[in-house]
Structure 1
C-alpha cells in the first residue's frame, strides 16, 4: 500500500464517520444533559470531514495538476 492509497482510505474513513454521525442523530435520542457534549463532538467530526474535502479538492488537487505539466 502506497502513501496515496493510505491518504485515500483515511479520507473515506473520516467522511464516513461524519456522515454516519449525522445520520445517527435521526435515530438516537440524546439525553438533555449530554446534548452539549454531542454538539461539540459532532462539530469536530464534521470539521474533520471538511478538512478532508479541502485537502483533496483544494491546494492538493491544484498541486497535482501543476506537477503533471
Structure 2
C-alpha cells in the first residue's frame, strides 16, 4: 500500500473531529466497483474517476458464412 492511503485528514461532524482516510476508501470502492449501481458509478465518473466510466464490451461480428 502506498503512503497516501494512510494519510488521515480530520473533518468535523457534529462538532467532533473524525478521521478520513480517502486513499483507503477510494481503493476499497474501486475494488468493489462491480457491486456499485449505475447512479453511484455515474457520480464517481463525474468526479473524474476514470475507472467508474461505463465499459463497452465489443460484440463479435456475426458469421457471414
Which has more strand, going by share of residues? 2
Which has more helix, going by share of residues? 1
Same fold (TM over 0.5): no
Normalising by structure 2, what TM-score?
0.29
